[in-house]
Structure 1
Amino acid sequence: MSIFWFITTLLLLHFCTPGVGVVHSIVNGKVSIPHSHPYMVYIRDTQTHSACGGFLVREDFVMTAAHCKKDNLRVYLGVDDTNRLPEGIEAVAIPHPDFANKQGHDDIMLLKLKTIATLNKNVKTIGLPKTKGEAIPSNCMAMGWGWKEYTHTSPSNVLREVNLTLIQNCDTSDLICTEGESGPSQGDFGGPLICGNVPHGIGSYYINKGATGIMMYSKISHYLPWIHEIMNVHELWKSKLDAFNISDIRVCMIVKMSTP
């Protein structure tokens, strides 16, 4: 047997062995049309360069996974190609208070933007589920800039997406899941699972199971009371007032004083 066929045989054995080579990634997806998901947010730590996904839920709030919390996070809006990033926005991380780095528990976080997002055709918000018991359509989509190969670090510089189907018997009070060899990967966690044009899940973690895998998502509707509590504390008008430059106030005073 030639060395070529020997190596080929070893590779086939490796990839066909159950539970081996089935690394969580958007492998079987496709490249998204540029800016077709304007709510998508690229999140990166400026020191370690580790990345996560997220999505804009209000002009001043991004939603993502709590395990994506880092010390030097920057949020990038309106991104298509990560090789051409816009200026990043600093954010204050607000993870769920019960999150303790345990898989499947309270892996949700809000990022309060220090600079309010300017909405345009490439930057838009996406609405959340309306009620805690809201029914979730089974046909969904995940997207992100994460790994696109099974066997090694291979982040995509452009946004990719994949169609997925919910597993009904996996649904719990705070988790939903999809099954297969496709789905979110390293770099995609924190991104949304869109079902019926609504984000119902947040990519959290992956479980190998034989030749396939199960991807777990934090169920957003379960956390609506906490989400609304945090966002109501930080009302948007307060953020806009904070962003109002002191120089603008001085200009207003000068104009008023000079008016007869």
Structure 2
Amino acid sequence: MMALLVVKSPFHTVDPTWSTSVTALQKQHVVVFCNLMVYLGVDDTRHLPGGVAVDPIPHPGFNMNKKGHDIMLLKLKTPAVLNKTVNTIALPGNEQFSKDCMVMGWGWQDYQRGSPSNVLKEANVTLIDSENCGPADTLCNEGKTGPSQGDSGGPLVCGGVAQGIVSFYKNHTNADLLTVYTHISHFFAWIHDNMIPPTQQRYETWKGKLDKLI
């Protein structure tokens, strides 16, 4: 199961996203700044639990006219209650990870035509060398198996760890589409800084300064 992000506006909709703990990660370019609501532990979008309002924390390096830095934090205004359908997922470190991964979402089953799925779907993908992806902060896979229209913002999970976020698609060969993911580990310091309460940030800053003097 995953978290579903919904924009509460008659003029805008947004793609599915996913939850970590009390802060969610989301690709930035699909988010319109209005009323955002997250539904946790969703499998079938026809049966939604109670929603939780969120505050968006955009990455300062994001630019709509350029690729890269396509990531945003969503801070839940009400803490999540963990249970059998709502849980956390591990964030990556700097270690090597498996290239055999899984993606999930409620996107179209046919990329060119169709409508979003009501039931959460998943697909297995294999990552290729990152130099083929584009921006340095991305991962990618090629082929017809993978995320589809409407899956932007969904998770790329490798070995039980959230390694990426579906970002954009581009043509790679005559037959294959390249799916590009935001590589979460490139933004770990920024994520960490925004998840720590301001009082603790000040304490750690002063502690670091004192440690240098000792």
Provide TM-score, normalisation by structure 1: 0.70
Aligned pairs for 1:3-152 (under 5 A) are 35=1, 40-47=2-9, 48=11, 50-58=13-21, 60-70=22-32, 71-130=34-93, 133-152=94-113
Instruction: Give the whole-Å Cα distance in 1 for the aligned partners of 2:199 and 2:149.
Output: 33
Q: Deviations over 1:122-144 (max 9, x none)?
A: 000101012xx332311001000
Residues 107 and 204 of structure 1 are in contact (CA less than 8 Å); yes or no, is this contact kept in structure 2? Answer: yes
Equivalent residue letter for 2:157: I
Structure 1: state its 5+ residue gaps.
1-34, 237-260
Residue aligned with 2:110, SS: coil
Query: How much has 1:191 moved relative to structure 2?
Result: 1.1
Greater Rg over alpha carbons, structure? 1
Instruction: Give the whole-Å Cα distance in 2 for the aligned partners of 1:156 and 1:103.
Output: 30
Instruction: Give the whole-Å Cα distance in 1 for the aligned partners of 2:120 and 2:73.
Output: 22
Q: Which residue of 2 aligns with 1:257?
A: none
Higher RCO by CA contacts (8 Å cutoff, separation 6 or greater): 1
Residue aligned with 1:229, SS: helix
Query: How much has 1:67 moved relative to structure 2?
Result: 1.1
When the two structures are aligned, how many residues end up with a matched partner?
195
Q: Which residue of 1 aligns with 2:203?
A: none
Q: Which residue of 2 aligns with 1:249?
A: none
Residues 55 and 126 of structure 1 are in contact (CA less than 8 Å); yes or no, is this contact kept in structure 2? Answer: no
| Percentage of identical aligned residues | 46
Q: Which residue of 2 aligns with 1:222?
A: 186
Aligned pairs for 1:136-175 (under 5 A) are 136-168=97-129, 169-170=131-132, 173-175=136-138
Q: Deviations over 1:89-143 (max 9, x none)?
A: 110011111101245310001001111111100000101012xx33231100100
Q: Determine whether 1:184 maps to 2:151.
A: no
Distance 1:84 1:234, change over 3 A: farther
Q: Deviations over 1:152-201 (max 9, x none)?
A: 24100000000000011436631110101122223211111011111111
Aligned pairs for 1:234-249 (under 5 A) are none
Structure with bigger helix share is 1
Residues 50 and 187 of structure 1 are in contact (CA less than 8 Å); yes or no, is this contact kept in structure 2? Answer: no
Residues 110 and 148 of structure 2 are in contact (CA less than 8 Å); yes or no, is this contact kept in structure 1? Answer: no
Structure 2: state its 5+ residue gaps.
201-214
Query: How much has 1:226 moved relative to structure 2?
Result: 0.3
Residue aligned with 2:192, SS: helix
CA RMSD of aligned residues (A): 1.9
Instruction: Give the whole-Å Cα distance in 1 for the aligned partners of 2:97 and 2:136.
Output: 13
Provide TM-score, normalisation by structure 2: 0.85
